[in-house]
Amino acid sequence: MKYSLLVVDDERSIRSSLKRVFTAEGFRVETAATVAAGRAALSDSPPDLVIMDLKLPDGNGLDFLQEVRRLDRSIQTILITAYGDVQQAVEAMKAGAGDFLKKPYELDELLLAVRAAVRNLDRDTQLAGFRRRALERHHADRMIGRCPAMQEVAGLIDKVSQSDATTVLITGESGTGKELVARAVHYGSSRAGYPLMEVNCSSFQEGLLENELFGHERGAYTDARETKKGLVELCDQGTLFLDEVGDMPLSTQAKLLRFIDLKSFKRVGGVQDIVVDIRIIAATNKRLDEAVSDQSFREDLYYRLKVISINLPPLRDRGGDILLLAEHFLDSFNRKFKKHFRRLSRPAADILLAYEWPGNVRELKNVLERAVLLEDGEELLTEMLTPEIVRRQTSRSDRLRSLAEVEESHILSVLESTGWNKSRSARVLGISRQGLLDRLKRMRVEVSERGA
């Protein structure tokens, strides 16, 4: 991709030499000698990258930098000055400069800074595509549910989305849809136009997770050849989704708590505070209150995260939602695999309703995907479901029959021991007399002529 570059410097020789160098590097290059000329170039056609001198005849490069940032925060910026000092560098970086070089500089040094900026531009382009696809996926995988518990969840999502809450905690078993809730909160909020960045806290070792979240400065460690922005910085104005937050190392928990409290952080190896405005959504399938008790999770962080808490019910407790979700997945996978299933058979539906779904919605989705992919027809039959579900459900039914037989045998034994006195037998069994009569009726035992 050919990026555009604006050079703002009052020295003609520098403007001409940089134009020559970066045109050869593949940029479309414009130059300006003053803040006013740079401002005009910005309004005509905003560039992807700006290289500017800090001292200009009609203004200050820092002021111009802030104008650039107000116009478009995605524009990469590099400041150059002969009067640079640490304080000016700090001010420039706080104002959003991507890099800061001091005259006289080596051309190779500037080229490295520009190439780092190009990588940021490439990443921003990829992120834009990711956000577009994520939004499409969010609409495709919307929350589905009519049971009271899910209606309550939907109401909380609406309230949280429209609120100014900066921390949200989502709890629930694995596979219940915590990621979908996080997306619903993000895309239903005023932050929807900004990034939703996701990280699984259990996927990183201690030092790597801190680096992933907060980034590092060039030279922070041996292999840190350039500055890297972390996810916290990349999702400024947007949402950071911390999945499996219960697995976050204690040292990283401390740094996360500091960030939540101060709304600022330092990159690894950095000295300056970087301020961002993000919403943090944390999710876990663990009991964080128990983790606090065994000291594997910080109590202060737990209470900061759970200012607003959304708990997702397991699928086994959602009743008819199971068939709603099954029909949704059936329709979705029909389109994906170009199949023509129109409905679930009644026996198949009964099995889905009776199964306990230890893997929750994720397991149901996988079951329907497998069935539609491998089978054909208009009706999805019992034999098209995974053998494990059918076998476990059949085994469960057999166990229930066995338990019923044991109960019937015990009732008959008590009746025999009391001479079929129904009132005494009911007291021994710990049920009411009418309850005993109802059970005997279901057992089809004739007792009208026997006992009291």
pLDDT digits (tens, 9 = 90+) for 300-328: 999 999 999 999 999 999 988 999 999 99
Average pLDDT over the chain, rounded to an integer: 86
Q: Side-chain half-sphere of 356: how many Cα atoms within 13 Å?
A: 9
Pick the CATH number of 391-442 from 1.10.10.60, 3.40.30.10, 1.10.274.10, 3.30.530.20: 1.10.10.60
| Closest to 98 measured CA to CA, from 124, 130, 60, 127 | 124
pLDDT at 129: 64
pLDDT at 247: 94
- Is residue 200 over pLDDT 90? yes
Q: Is the dihedral of CA 329, 331, 334, 335 positive or negative?
A: negative
pLDDT at 384: 93
Q: What is the pLDDT of residues 430-450, one digit of tens each?
A: 788 888 887 887 777 765 545
Cis peptide before 104 (omega within 30 of 0): yes
Q: From CA 264, how far away is CA 223, in angstroms rounded?
A: 25
Q: Go through 215-226 and write b for each residue having 16 or more CB atoms within 10 A of its CB, e for each that does not.
A: bbbbebeeebee
pLDDT at 168: 97
| Closest to 167 measured CA to CA, from 357, 305, 331, 25 | 305
Q: From CA 34, how far away is CA 58, in angstroms rounded?
A: 6
pLDDT at 214: 93
Residue 240, strand partner residues: 197, 280
More confident: 263 or 103? 263
Residue 268, strand partner residues: 216
pLDDT at 99: 80
Cβ contacts of 3 within 8 Å, gap of 6 or more: 26, 27, 28, 47, 48, 49, 118, 121
| Closest to 307 measured CA to CA, from 164, 162, 143, 153 | 164
CATH class entry, domain 4-124: alpha beta
Residues 141-159 have a mean pLDDT of 88
Which of 53-57, 307-311, 356-360, 407-411 shows the lowest per-residue confidence on average (mean pLDDT)? 407-411
- Is residue 396 over pLDDT 70? no
Region 141-311: CATH code: 3.40.50.300
* Distance from chain centroid for Cα 121: 23
More confident: 238 or 429? 238
Fold: same for 4-124 and 141-311: yes
- Is residue 136 over pLDDT 60? no
Binning pLDDT at 50, 70 and 90, where does residue 138 land? low
Strands 99-102 and 167-171: unpaired
Residues 175-202 have a mean pLDDT of 92
Q: What residue has token string 């350039």?
A: 226
Strands 49-53 and 239-243: unpaired
Burial (Cβ within 10 Å: 0-12, 13-18, ≥19) of residue 294: exposed
Q: What is the DSSP string of 361-386?
A: HHHHHHHHHHHHHH--SSEE-GGGS-
The pTM (predicted TM-score) of the whole model is 0.61
Q: What residue has token string 């008590």?
A: 414
pLDDT at 449: 45
What are the boundaries of each domain within the chain?
A: 4-124, 141-311, 315-385, 391-442
Q: Go through 33-51 and write b for each residue having 16 or more CB atoms within 10 A of its CB, e for each that does not.
A: bbbebbbebbeeeebbbbb
Residue 311, strand partner residues: 171
pLDDT at 175: 95
More confident: 275 or 104? 275
Q: What is the pLDDT of residues 207-260, one digit of tens each?
A: 789 999 999 888 787 777 788 899 999 999 999 999 999 999 999 999 999 999
Tell me if 66 sits within 8 A of 95, measured CB to CB: yes
Q: Which fold has domain 315-385?
A: Helicase, Ruva Protein; domain 3 (1.10.8)
Q: From CA 153, how far away is CA 139, in angstroms rounded?
A: 17
Percentage of the chain lying above the pLDDT 90 cut: 47
Residue 79, strand partner residues: 52, 100
More confident: 204 or 358? 358
Residues 194-201 have a mean pLDDT of 92
